[in-house]
Amino acid sequence: MKMILAVVSGDDSNAVSTALTKAGFQVTKLATTGGFLMSGNTTFLIGVDDDKVDDAISVIAHHSRKRKQIVPDNSFSEVGMYSALPIEVTVGGATVFVMNVERFEKV
């Protein structure tokens, strides 16, 4: 058995949750905040049999899209001032971790 921990953009959370549930996966959702843009994310905890890991990741990937976002560049310049010029960054998608489960119980 494996535990999938998937961090998904808040914008994609409902689509991912619905698709995983329709595909027969039992999902626990946690509201989380990303450190880079301090934006809302959802972290999914999904317990799956070893042979279903790729299926779950496929569902997550299909419903988590990357997008471009303009954010202020708050970097410190050489002359001792902050630059607030906007930069374009890629956000969204999913970060997925797959871990071995030593023991599983429903009590």
Residues 28-81: pLDDT tens digits?
999 988 765 556 789 999 999 999 999 999 999 999 987 776 766 665 555 555
Q: What is the mean pLDDT of residues 17-27?
A: 97
Confidence at residue 91, expressed as pLDDT on a 0 to 100 scale: 67
* Domains (range + CATH), the chain: 2-100 (3.30.70.120)
pLDDT of residue 16: 96
- Structure token digits, residue 6: 């998937």
pLDDT of residue 10: 85
- Residue 82 confidence (pLDDT) above 70: no
d(CA 69, CA 87) in angstroms, rounded, equals 8
